[in-house]
Each structure stands twice: as structure tokens, then as C-alpha cells.
Amino acid sequence: MASQYQRLVPLEVRRAEGERVRAKHPDKIPIIVERAQRSRAPELDKKKYLKKKKSVVSTPVLSHASFLPNDTKRNVGQLCFLIRQRVSLRPEEALFFFVNNSMPPSSSPLSAVYEEHHEDDMFLYLTYSNESVYGA
């Protein structure tokens, strides 16, 4: 299923943006992060960030995407942690992340997930969803 960003932005525009970002920032991974369609999780306040390799502070740029360093030390779990910080969830709620309708292992390097799952437009699409745990 296509993401909201894929439905709203034509492929040619997305591809041009993806190629521009990869050319300008070859050490970064362009990632589109969106809430799953039926999720009750809050929407991200900002969806496009430019993260430097050693930066701990994110700088909002626009909306819809996140650019993360192409660093083998960065893994899916670290990205999930950053996203979880940006949404307000009750302690009993979990947040789950999907790439192409499957959950990548949290220990997987982002660079490996990107190489395996990025789309023709040069973006990796990540979807998040919440689920109530402990019967709450």
C-alpha cells in the first residue's frame, strides 16, 4: 500500500527530491516516517528532519521525511527511539515500526534496511502504529 506521501506527491517529484538529497548528503539516509492509516498513535509534529552524523539535536526542515546519517552504527531501534520521543503515548502503549509491512529487527543497521527496502524514489518508507499492552 502506498504511503500518504507517495499518494500526494508524484513519483517524478519524489525521485528528483530523493536524488537531490542523496547527491547533496551522500552520508544520510532519506526516510519518510508516517503513521499507519488505522493507528491511534499521535501524528508526528514534524516529519522532516536533517540529522547530522554526530548531532543529538534535530533541526526541523519541512514535513514528511527524515534524513539520517548513513552510519552502520545507527540501527532501527535508535530511529524508533527518536520517533517515540516525538509522539505522546501513555506508558502502557507500545509503538511498532514497519517497513514494507514487516517489522525490521531493532538491531538492524539503518543502512542495511535502506539498501534492501528503499523505493525507486530513493526514500525508505517507515510506518509506525501503536497498540495497547497489558490489557489496557
pLDDT, tens digit (0-9, with 9 covering 90-100), for 66-96: 566 665 568 888 888 888 888 877 777 889 9
Predicted confidence (pLDDT) per residue in 33-46, tens digit: 999 888 888 888 76
Q: What is the CATH number of the domain that holds 32?
A: 3.10.20.90
Mean pLDDT, residues 11-30 taken together: 91
Overall number of domains in the chain: 1
Residue 78: which domain range?
4-132
Q: What is the pTM of this model?
A: 0.79
- Which pLDDT band holds residue 9 (cuts at 50, 70, 90)? very high
The secondary element (H helix, E strand) that includes residue 28 is strand 28-35
Residue whose C-alpha cell reads 535502506 in the numeric block:
114
Average pLDDT, the chain: 79
pLDDT band at 135 (very low <50, low <70, confident <90, very high): very low
What pLDDT score was predicted for residue 52?
A: 39
Distance, in Å, from the CA atom of 48 to the CA atom of 72, rounded to the nearest integer, reads 21
